[in-house]
Chain A
């Protein structure tokens, strides 16, 4: 043993204690890496998370108080110039609201054309955010609903703006939700404008990167990104975000597509754990298949409409199976 442990029984005792604790630590790391999600160490981690639920609630309370104090301080320190500025801003906002109403009505008409519904017929459990992760490595939030309320691992979680993450673990009355910005998060998505499928990855810096998109596909800032439902895990058609920036040209191998998550500009306190939903695309697919059959033309004159002559032939190739809790998955042949 090194000399700095000292001489005699005290030094030996320190060395033995240190060795035992080091071995114990390494044994835990090894076991953690080798066991599955249901292993003893993972279970202990989940149990600790559940036990510390009340403390996490205090953390959420501290956060809310902090926001409230910050707002009050801003109000107190507002000078007459700020009030004039706020009145002007209010007027501008009124004009913007009127303008947006026009856009909304136009959007409703366009939605009718595109047959994309703007609401999710979703069922689930509403919950409040208790706390955020205590380290910077993970973007995970704890919510105040667990297995007792019907929450289970794998369910998608939404805020009013759209998808925010997925339940990764549960206790009786709490659950941990991995946010889509987490670097370990990956979602199968579809770009609404060109139906191109890709994978949306989180990162340590909190940005979302759209990858696995064909190099020659044109992607523009502002393109809407929705869950594709492929691979299970998420229901199809949930709004995830919009393309914020495209670094590099189409065709360049090193193109980077950065997606801004929906509602990233405002913190959310309440979330919705989706247990089942009717995808905005489910109805469309059925309708299109019906129309397709009606629009087929009898080319060879045998009295039977011929395959491949309908308006929506491309949808014929897509077949999805719906599995409650796991969204859509590609139907096995």
Chain B
């Protein structure tokens, strides 16, 4: 495990802890932040593909196991999203922070909408209008703000990890 991935794993654990301990207490009018989704989107932009896939799968699984919904839905959506984020970054990314932030916001919204669609399809007790209006849209807006902040922090931290690793130099 290299330094960057180690930092990313620690960040993932922190996201899970925040989801359990903090998220229910900072809900705004019933809208709860999803730190797991926020973090998954942020690391999808900064880590290599293989590491992203493993991490978002693990995060998604933990997220589903913590909740009461269908297990496997969140990792599936996060994996699809991470591939799409990689594609979007390669297609539209021009190295500027602004474009990266736009990608972060766009995919947070997409993930929430896909997750809502999954929940509607899997559970008969949610109406589509209610699910989108009361859960998906408010959470997507809340998480968009958090995801941009998280992306900036993760980008900074992982660049520090990279510098630290580079300064050690290869073993001879």
What residue in chain A is nearest B131 (Cβ atoms)?
A: A204
How many angstroms between the C-alpha atoms of A135 and B69 in the bound complex? Answer: 9
Find residues 1-30 in chain A having any chain B CB closer than 8 Å to their own CB: 2, 4-5, 13-14, 17-18, 21-22, 24-30
Do the beta carbons of B65 and A48 come within 8 Å of each other? yes
B79 touching A25, Cβ below 8 Å: yes
**Does A76 make an interface contact (CB < 8 A)?**
no
Query: Does the CB pair A4–B87 fall under 8 Å?
Result: yes
A27 near B50 with CB under 8 A, answer no
Q: A21–B123 Cα gap in the complex (Å)?
A: 24
Chain B residue at minimal CB-CB distance from A205: B134
**Smallest Cβ distance from B19 to chain A, in angstroms?**
5
| Residues of B contacting A: mostly | helix
The answer to whether A134 and B72 touch (CB under 8 A), given A62-B21, A183-B125, is no
Instruction: Assess the B70–A33 pair: CB atoms within 8 A.
Output: yes
The verdict on A184 contacting B123 (CB below 8 Å), with A131-B24, A136-B32, A206-B30 known, is: yes
Q: How many A residues face the partner with a CB closer than 8 A? A: 48
Q: How far apart sit A29 and B123, CA to CA, in the bound complex (Å)?
A: 12
B84 to chain A, nearest CB (A): 10
Q: What's the dominant secondary structure at chain A's contact region?
A: helix
Complex CA gap A22/B139 in Å reads 25
**Cα distance A255–B124 when bound, in Å?**
22
Complex CA distance for A63 and B87, rounded to whole angstroms: 41
Q: Is A278 part of the binding interface, using a Cβ–Cβ cutoff of 8 Å?
A: no
Encoded as 1 (CB less than 8 Å from any A CB) or 0, chain B from 46 to 72 comes to 000110011001001110111111111
B25 and A204 contacting across the interface, CB-CB below 8 Å: no
The answer to whether the Cβ of A133 comes within 8 Å of any Cβ in the partner chain is: yes
The answer to whether A59 touches B21, judged by C-beta atoms less than 8 angstroms apart, is yes
Interface size on B, residues (CB 8 A): 50
Instruction: Decide if B30 touches A136 in the complex (CB within 8 Å).
Output: yes
Smallest Cβ distance from B51 to chain A, in angstroms? 10
Partner of B49, one of A14, A25, A26, A183: A14
What's the minimum C-beta distance from B125 to chain A, rounded to whole angstroms?
Answer: 5
Q: Tell me if B50 and A13 are in contact (CB < 8 A).
A: yes
A206 CA to B122 CA, complexed, in Å = 20
Question: Given the interface contacts A25-B72, A176-B68, does A136 sit within 8 Å of B139 by beta carbon?
Answer: yes
Smallest beta-carbon distance B119→chain A, Å: 6
**Alpha-carbon gap, A277 to B64, bound state (A):** 36
Binds B, one of A50-58, A77-85, A293-301, A323-331: A50-58
Closest to B90 in A: A4
Q: Which residues of B contact A33 (CB under 8 A)?
A: 70, 122
Residues of chain A within 8 A (CB-CB) of B20 are: 52, 55-56, 58-59, 131, 134
Tell whether A133 pairs with B75 under 8 Å between CB atoms, given A138-B68, A204-B135: no
Q: How far is the CB of B25 from chain A (nearest CB, A)?
A: 5
Measured in the bound complex, the distance between the Cα atoms of B75 and A48 in whole Å is 16
Contacts of A131 in B (CB 8 A): 20, 24
Q: Which residues of A contact B110 (CB under 8 A)?
A: none
Q: Tell me, in angstroms, the Cα distance from A166 to B42 when the chains sit together.
A: 38
Q: Which single residue of chain B is at the shortest CB-CB distance from A183?
A: B125
Chain B 26-52, CB-CB to A under 8 Å as 1, else 0, gives 010011101000000000000001100
Q: A112-150 toward B: CB 8 Å interface, digit per residue (1/0)?
A: 000000000000000000011111111010000000000
Q: Which residue of B lies closest to A42 (CB)?
A: B71
Contacts A29-B70, A30-B72 supplied; 13 other A-B pairs, CB < 8 Å: A21-B54, A25-B73, A25-B75, A25-B79, A26-B76, A28-B71, A32-B72, A62-B22, A63-B25, A133-B24, A133-B68, A136-B27, A136-B139
Interface residue ranges, B against A (CB under 8 Å): 17, 19-25, 27, 30-32, 34, 49-50, 53-54, 57, 60-62, 64-73, 75-76, 79-80, 83, 86-87, 90, 119, 122-123, 125-127, 130-131, 134-135, 139
Can you list 7 A-B contacts with CB-CB less than 8 angstroms, sorted by A residue number?
A4-B90, A26-B76, A30-B72, A41-B71, A59-B25, A136-B135, A184-B123
Nearest 5 A/B pairs, CB to CB: A28-B72, A25-B76, A29-B72, A48-B65, A25-B75
